Amino acid sequence: MGVKTRVQYIESLKTAKPDVYIAGEYVQNVVNNPFFRTSINHLGMGYDWANMAENESELTFHSPLIEEKVSFWTHLRQSTAELKQMVETIKRFSAQHVCTMCMGIGLCVIWATTYEIDQDKGTEYHKRFKNFYKKIQKDDLRFALGVMDPKGDRSLSPSQQEDPDMYLRIVKQLKDGIVVNGAKMHTTSAPCMHYFLATPCRVLSEKDKEYAVSFAVPIDTDGITFITRPAAGPVKGKEFESPVSSKIGFVECLSVFDNVFIPWENVFMCGEWNYTENLIKYFSSYVRMAKCTCVSARTDLITGIAALAAKSNGIEKASHVKHKLNDMIISSNIGWGCALGSVYESRMHPSGIPIPDISISNSGLYQTRLRFVEFLGTLQELAGGIVTTMPIENEYVNEKTKPLMEKYLKGKEGVSVEDRIKIMYLIQEFTASNFSGYLMSSAICAGGTPETNRVEVFRNYDLKEMVKYAKALCNID
Ligand SMILES: Cc1cc2nc3c(=O)[nH]c(=O)nc-3n(C[C@H](O)[C@H](O)[C@H](O)COP(=O)(O)OP(=O)(O)OC[C@H]3O[C@@H](n4cnc5c(N)ncnc54)[C@H](O)[C@@H]3O)c2cc1C
């Protein structure tokens, strides 16, 4: 049954016993623990969406791998048309719900890389990965994507680090599997997933061979500990004051691997350092295409909020307001245009999947991610200081202070005070809260920092050819 329900997802979590620390406490099951409520709810939303009749053609697919219906999160895109449909879905759902949880793109990256290794070396990585993929599809499972290592001194390669565990590494190869040690950083929602999927985060040299490792394991495998940061929203839902982060939020983990045994059937790369260059290239293409889309969608979302705020303050007709909304729309279009461009310019990989254009996706993300952060400031500017100075929800539910808030927090005639307060709390969430810090960091750092975009764009540009054109124009040989 390739499309599960929220209830089935939550039931499946109940049997897992991962080792988790959160807020100073050790917990072994995340279901019903308030710290995991929003992470589980967000993943649950995905299961709900896939079961809604109106989303059927967008969020469910026929999988040729298992000859069954599967969900958006596990489907393997095998054509440009399917890739286009994927970004359209991310754009629509992220503009409405902040995040579509599009980590499934990691599967494509490992799909292509394992195929290449097997073709060249006669190994069985792709066959194993295909089996893992089928399992994920059949049971509609979710996985944490562990790419980023702690990295220690950024100027040094993995093997040059003083502590060899700064990057996750193979410490032993046994007859029936491998043993890995080290950690992955920033693994979003890991204890609420079924599997942990690890891959290297950088191009490696022969000296770094033991760091070239990719595998999947159930999250409650012996030796894995998740040191978990609570999500950015309130632990107990406060929907009036925190309308978004009361429902949507993500725990983040330092995921520690203490001599963890991985059976061969779940190992997808073991020492093949010379394939990490392509792996990172495919990652960069896919992640940046998805992030371009996501930043564009989130820019759409805050454009709508900005228009609402302007109206509630009675400034919607002012020329500077229109100008600011227009800047947001243009930036959103740039991101979206580049996401689509990277899809249209994708090329088919011999493994049967399209690889988005690396240069266009990185350019789009570079141009829009920091503007998104700038627009959070614009949102504050349009809403005014009320966003950070208004009384909190407790005063609005107190019969003594509510009438005073009703009198003095009024904006434009025709917008109820309660609605204006709701709008301002929403803007507080997006621009002046723990949640806004999370959104900013997600725009700036998640999926690689802006500098990595520049590096990819420059590396993939044919500058020599352009210099040749320039020379021809001014008659230089
Ligand atoms: C909200 C959020 C969710 C995330 N979720 C996940 C997830 O689920 N899975 C996952 O694997 N990762 C995840 N990440 C991690 C993300 O991919 C990294 O944060 C990102 O790639 C940047 O790496 P870093 O944080 O180590 O920063 P760094 O790479 O340390 O970057 C910091 C600065 O140092 C510079 N720098 C780095 N190396 C060098 C160098 N050699 N020379 C010169 N300058 C250098 C960078 O350009 C940047 O300016 C998430 C991050 C965020 C913020």
* pLDDT, tens digit, 9 for 90 and up, residues 207-266: 999 999 999 999 999 999 999 999 999 998 889 999 999 999 999 999 999 999 999 999
pLDDT at position 29, please?
A: 87
Please say if the pLDDT value at position 1 is more than 80.
no
Closest CA to 263 of 159, 146, 124: 124
Q: Is 189 in the pocket of ligand 1 (CB under 6 A)?
A: no
Ligand 1 contact, 145 CB (< 6 A): yes
Q: What is the DSSP string of 119-158?
A: HHH--SHHHHHHHHHHHHHHHT--EEEE-----SSTTS-G
CA of 291 to the centre of ligand 1 (A): 14
Round to whole Å and give the CA distance between 113 and 268.
9
List residues bridging with 261 in a β-sheet.
179
pLDDT digits (tens, 9 = 90+) for 326-383: 999 999 999 999 999 999 999 999 999 999 999 999 999 999 999 999 999 999 999 9
Q: How far is the CA of 109 from the centre of ligand 1 (A)?
A: 19
3 state SS of 467: helix
Q: Are strands 224-229 and 252-263 parallel, antiparallel or unpaired?
A: antiparallel
CA of 398 to the centre of ligand 1 (A): 44
Residue 103: which pLDDT band, with cuts at 50, 70 and 90? confident
Given a cut of 80, is residue 206 above it in pLDDT? yes
What spacing in Å lies between the alpha carbon of 148 and ligand 1's midpoint?
7
Instruction: Give dist(CA 84, CA 451) in Å, integer.
Output: 26
Give Cα 145 distance to the centre of its chain: 9
pLDDT tens-digit profile of 265-298? 999 999 999 999 999 999 999 999 999 999 999 9
Pocket probe for ligand 1: among 186, 199, 298, the residue whose CB has the most ligand atoms within 8 Å is: 186
Element (H, E) at 464: helix 463-473
| Residue 311 Cβ contacting ligand 1 at under 6 Å | no
According to the model, what pLDDT value does residue 2 have?
87
At CA 53, angle to CA 51 and CA 58, rounded to 5? 80
- Tell me the CA–centroid distance for residue 150 and ligand 1, in Å: 9
Q: How far, in Å, from the CA of 375 to the mean position of ligand 1?
A: 22
Q: Is 446 in the pocket of ligand 1 (CB under 6 A)?
A: yes
Task: Output the CA 64–ligand 1 centroid distance in Å.
Answer: 35
pLDDT of amino acid 104: 84
Does residue 338 contact residue 361 with C-beta atoms inside 8 Å?
yes
Please give the pLDDT value at position 238.
Answer: 87
Confidence of residue 477 (pLDDT cuts 50, 70, 90): confident
What are the tens digits of pLDDT across the range 422-473? 999 999 999 999 999 999 999 999 999 999 999 999 999 999 999 999 999 9
Number of H helices, E strands in the chain: 16, 14
Instruction: Evaluate: CB of 442 within 6 angstroms of ligand 1.
Output: yes
Ligand 1 near 319 CB (within 6 A): no
Mean pLDDT within 387-401: 95
Find out whether the beta carbon of 38 lies less than 6 Å from any atom of ligand 1. no
- pLDDT given at position 167: 98
* Ligand 1 and 151: CB distance under 6 A: yes
> Do 220 and 18 meet the contact criterion of CB atoms below 8 Å apart?
yes
For a mutational test of ligand 1's pocket, the pick from 449, 454, 455, i.e. the residue with the most ligand atoms closer than 8 A to its C-beta, is 449
Ligand 1 touching residue 200 (CB < 6 A): no
- CATH 1.20.140.10 placement within the chain: 279-463
DSSP states of 39-83: HHHHHHHHHHHHT-GGGHHHHEEEETTTTEEEETTT----SHHHH
pLDDT > 70: percent of the chain = 100
Specify the residue with its C-alpha closest to ligand 1, atom 42. Answer: 155
How far apart are the CA of 455 and the centre of ligand 1, in A?
Answer: 14
CA of 445 to the centre of ligand 1 (A): 6
Establish whether residue 287 lines the binding site of ligand 1, counting it when its CB lies within 6 angstroms of any ligand atom: no
Per-residue confidence (pLDDT) for residue 70, from 0 to 100? 97
Q: Is the CB of 147 under 6 A from ligand 1?
A: yes
Q: Whose CA is nearest to atom 11 of ligand 1?
A: 147
Mutate to test the pocket of ligand 1, among 148, 250, 253 (most ligand atoms within 8 A of CB): 148
Index of the ligand 1 atom closest to the CA of residue 190:
8
Taking only the tens place, the pLDDT of each residue in 305-316 is 999 999 999 999
**Ligand 1: nearest atom to the Cα of 442:** 1
**The pLDDT value given to residue 64:** 94
Distance CA 98, CA 244 (A): 9
**Mean pLDDT score across all residues of the chain:** 97
Is the CB–ligand 1 distance for residue 148 below 6 Å? yes
Pick the CATH number of 279-463 from 3.30.750.24, 3.40.30.10, 3.40.50.10320, 1.20.140.10: 1.20.140.10
- For the segment 1-6, the average pLDDT, to the nearest whole number, is 91
CATH class of 6-72+103-271: mainly beta
CA of 459 to the centre of ligand 1 (A): 19
Mutate to test the pocket of ligand 1, among 98, 154, 161 (most ligand atoms within 8 A of CB): 154
Distance of CA 330 to the CA centre of its chain: 23
What is the tens place of the pLDDT at every residue in 16-56? 999 999 999 999 889 999 999 999 999 999 999 999 999 99
Parts of the chain belonging to CATH 2.40.110.10:
6-72+103-271
Contact 388 CB / ligand 1 (< 6 Å): no
**Residue 102 binned pLDDT confidence (cut-offs 50, 70, 90):** confident
Return the ligand 1 atom nearest residue 449 CA: 22
Query: Rounded mean pLDDT of 97-116?
Result: 94
